[in-house]
Amino acid sequence: MRYTYSRWDRTQLTGEVEADDLMRALADDLLSDGDVGNALERVVRWGMQGQGGRNVMGMQSLLQQLRSARQQMLDRYSLDGLLDGVREEISSIVAAEREALDRRLAAADAEGLRASMEAVAGRKRAALDAVGPDTAQALEQLSDYEFLDEDARERFRALKDELQRQALNARFEGIRSALDAIDDAERERLAAMLEDLDAILRRHLDGQDTDFSSFMEQHGRYFPGATSLDGVVRDLQQQAAQMESLLQSLPAAMRREVDDLMAASLRHPGIAEGLARLAETLGSLNALWQQPAEYQFGGEESLPLSDALKMMRSLQNLDLLEREMKRALEEGSADGVDAALLGESLGPEARQDVERLQQATRLLEAAGYLESKEGAFELTPRGMRVIGEKALHDIFRNLDRGDFGRHPTVLPGIGGDRGDESKRYEFGDSFHLDLSQTLMNAVRRGSGAPVALTTADFEVFRTEQTVESSTVLMLDMSRSMPLRGCFVAAKKVALALNTLIRTQYPRDRLYILGFSDYARELQPEDLHRITWGDYVYGTNMQHGFMVARRLLGRHSSGTRQIIIITDGEPTAHFEGERIHFAYPPTFRTFQETLREVRRCTHEGITINTFMLERSHYLADFVNQMTRINRGRAFFATPERLGDYILVDYVSSKSARAG
């Protein structure tokens, strides 16, 4: 087996996002408002936790990273020295030509031809003296100058070719990769391409057949990767926008000089005229033009013209991505973001993050956690089970931190799981024989050899006795619960308790009641759909206890209990068939509610209360209720509510036996 090691650069973590990871990221949002679409939008906006601990960044973080990358470029570079390289090369060429003139004069002096050479040298020096700092004018002047120095002539020709190549590359992205050198034959081919391109664009404007395939067969090397005429037009317009952005970002004097230099480098009549016609034709397609942006550079690192054009492309790509990300934030979908372009701009991790966000819905559908109904996504029972497991995990993870948990649950009894302790066998015990201890009992008794066993020697392992339980979880759904931030925690506990019972205690039965002005049974799979529209005034515990008592009446054996989660005292009760509401609560409401508590007590139903508020009215009522029922009362915060309820439930599953 071979292993390859490399420097750590964070790309070694694949960070693959599984459907379970995504469901867990959606869990709390789904419990908050029950809307799958809203939960997915929040994941797109804020991201999520991926496998291996690597975060999948959302659009908000990626947008901030993109803006930071753009600002770093602007803070690093300066356009003040854009033409410095061209000026230096022109100055060097002029100096070389002057040195050649001096050498020629010296040679002519030795040959006795000084007088005739002086006249020629004077005219040439005057021409060289006229070459000023303006690069465009210098290019024009030197183009008409006849060099004496062969090296200076070749250097100037190379400079002109490079400037021409840059001017063309500013308009056609494929020029630099397509051309090794620009000679007269290549210039003629370029002029022909411009004429043919203008012709098919005009046919396109008139709605005629463009015969784009024939055009690409002849001129395709100038447009690598193009598959349609619309794509070519987009590329041309993007290139033009980059050049325009560069010009707008320059001071006025330099802008004029760069513009003149680009024009001077394209003195070939066929190319210049072709570009002018093409610009006019593209202007007729102005609906597709990108608005050129002006950038404010504040750095110190100078850029040559060729690199400045490349940087303009990078900046405009960042602008395009910013528009796509803003649209993604507005629509709650990452589908419109160009992941490949984002990877080029911000790196492979950013591309992976966007691709995972784009695949989120499809991933959940494929895993069976979501299904589409009438154009909207809904959770499947399998998806609800993952949310319940996540709620259960969150609550027991808190218990492991140590400050509240550690309640013992293994107690001696009959009929449950085998423990490690043993005891002398008694009639009725489960016969989990401890053979080694049984033999030792016989030896101690003095049975001799061979060992003779009697029933008095038998030692059996103790077992944990478990009891069957029927539970009604009553959730206060009055308006104060969501206003105080309690209801999401209560829903989370309900789902966790449901998951605990279904997975660990399948013989138990859990009913969930929601109560406000009246009580109604809730199915676990419907909990996440309860929204603000369901919350009303009134806390009718009386009706809740009535319905709970009826549900528990179906079970005659085992433990029967009611767990009530509330942030307030009862403020509503039935009078006949009408609901009476009053706040502060009336004595009549307390009286009718406690009457139901007595009925529950008479039927052997224990009521455990979890208070999420410490108001005087609630404390007084709960004290009266616990005196009647002998149940327990707890005060808990929403953050620790699940700890108390689940620990209490698990603890109650083990009962002491003699």
Residues 201 and 95 in one domain: yes
Q: Among 263-267, 340-344, 640-644, which is the least confidently predicted range?
A: 640-644
Q: What range does the domain containing 70 cover? A: 19-77+312-379
Residues 623 and 498 in one domain: yes
Residue 638: what pLDDT? 66
Euclidean distance between CA atoms 605 and 597, whole angstroms: 9
3-state helix, strand, coil in the chain (%, to 5): 60, 15, 30
Asked whether residue 391 is assigned to any structural domain, the reply reads: no
- Among residues 286, 288, 266, the alpha carbon closest in space to that of 275 is found at 266
CB neighbours (10 Å) of residue 455?
8
Residue 466: what pLDDT? 57
Segment 244-258, tens digit of pLDDT? 888 888 888 888 888
Share above pLDDT 70 across residues of the chain, in percent, rounded to a whole number: 79
Residues 177 and 198 in one domain: yes
Euclidean distance between CA atoms 501 and 515, whole angstroms: 22
**Does 407 score more than 50 pLDDT?**
no
Segment 624-658, tens digit of pLDDT? 988 898 888 877 776 666 666 666 766 666 543 32
Residue 52: what pLDDT? 52
Average pLDDT over residues 178-194: 72
**Three-class secondary structure assignment of 441-469:** HHHHHCCCCCCCCCHHHCEEEEEECECCE
Torsion, CA 474, CA 478, CA 480, CA 481, rounded to 10: 40
**Does 358 score more than 50 pLDDT?**
yes
Residues 509 and 611 in one domain: yes
Asked whether residue 405 is assigned to any structural domain, the reply reads: no
Q: Phi and psi at residue 501, in whole multiples of 5°?
A: -65, -45
- Among residues 626, 535, 541, 550, the alpha carbon closest in space to that of 589 is found at 541
Average pLDDT over residues 617-628: 86
**Does 265 score more than 70 pLDDT?**
yes
Rounded (10°) angle between helices 587-602 and 616-629: 30
Q: Phi and psi at residue 552, in whole multiples of 5°?
A: -75, -20
CB neighbours (10 Å) of residue 173?
20
Share above pLDDT 90 across residues of the chain, in percent, rounded to a whole number: 12
Residues 459 and 496 in one domain: no
| Final residue in a domain of this structure, among 271, 296, 321 | 296
**Does 313 score more than 80 pLDDT?**
yes
Asked whether residue 4 is assigned to any structural domain, the reply reads: no
Q: Among 168-172, 513-517, 524-528, which is the least confidently predicted range?
A: 168-172
Asked whether residue 172 is assigned to any structural domain, the reply reads: yes
Residues 460 and 475 in one domain: no
Asked whether residue 384 is assigned to any structural domain, the reply reads: no
**Farthest CA pair distance, the chain:** 144
Rounded (10°) angle between helices 212-219 and 184-205: 170
CA distances (Å), origin 150, targets 52, 96, 138, 139, 531: 66, 10, 19, 18, 85
At 391, the pLDDT band (50, 70, 90 cuts) reads low
Residues 200 and 232 in one domain: yes
Euclidean distance between CA atoms 54 and 62, whole angstroms: 15
Residues 38 and 121 in one domain: no
Position 241: which residue type?
Answer: A
pTM of the model: 0.61
- The top-scoring range by mean pLDDT among 36-50, 164-178, 341-355, 437-451 is 341-355
- Bridge partners (DSSP) listed for residue 559: 469
- The pair of structure tokens assigned to 571 is 């403020």
Positive/negative CA dihedral, 480, 481, 482, 486: positive
Greater model confidence, 402 or 334: 334
| Final residue in a domain of this structure, among 464, 498, 531 | 464
Q: Among 342-351, 381-390, 467-476, 570-579, which is the least confidently predicted range?
A: 381-390
Contacts of 200 (CB under 8 A, 6+ apart): 210, 211, 212, 215, 229
Residues 375 and 482 in one domain: no
Average pLDDT over residues 565-586: 86
Q: Among 34-43, 280-289, 421-430, which is the least confidently predicted range?
A: 280-289
Euclidean distance between CA atoms 516 and 298, whole angstroms: 62
H-state helical runs in 540-611: 541-552, 587-602
Torsion, CA 493, CA 494, CA 499, CA 500, rounded to 10: 60
**Does 417 score more than 60 pLDDT?**
no
Residues 593 and 636 in one domain: yes
Residue 397: what pLDDT? 58
| CATH label of the domain that carries residue 560 | 3.40.50.410
Residue 68: what pLDDT? 94
Burial of 476 (0-12, 13-18, 19+ CB in 10 A): buried
Tell me the DSSP string of 75-98: HHEESTTTTHHHHHHHHHHHHHHH
CA distances (Å), origin 629, targets 100, 157, 563: 115, 103, 13
Residues 64 and 89 in one domain: no
Asked whether residue 389 is assigned to any structural domain, the reply reads: no
Asked whether residue 411 is assigned to any structural domain, the reply reads: no
Residue 423: what pLDDT? 80
Average pLDDT over residues 410-424: 57
Greater model confidence, 573 or 112: 573
- Among residues 94, 160, 167, 81, the alpha carbon closest in space to that of 132 is found at 94
Residue 649 Cα to chain centre, angstroms: 37
Instruction: Give how many domains the chain has, as a whole number.
Output: 4
Q: Among 183-197, 289-303, 487-501, 642-656, which is the least confidently predicted range?
A: 642-656
Residues 131 and 110 in one domain: yes
Q: Among 73-82, 200-209, 277-286, which is the least confidently predicted range?
A: 277-286
Greater model confidence, 31 or 569: 569
| Final residue in a domain of this structure, among 464, 494, 524 | 464
Segment 27-82, tens digit of pLDDT? 766 666 667 777 888 888 888 765 555 678 889 999 999 999 999 999 999 888 88
Looking at residue 368, the DSSP 8-state letter turns out to be T
CA angle (304 as vertex; 302, 310 as ends), nearest 5: 105
Residue 339: strand, helix, or coil: helix
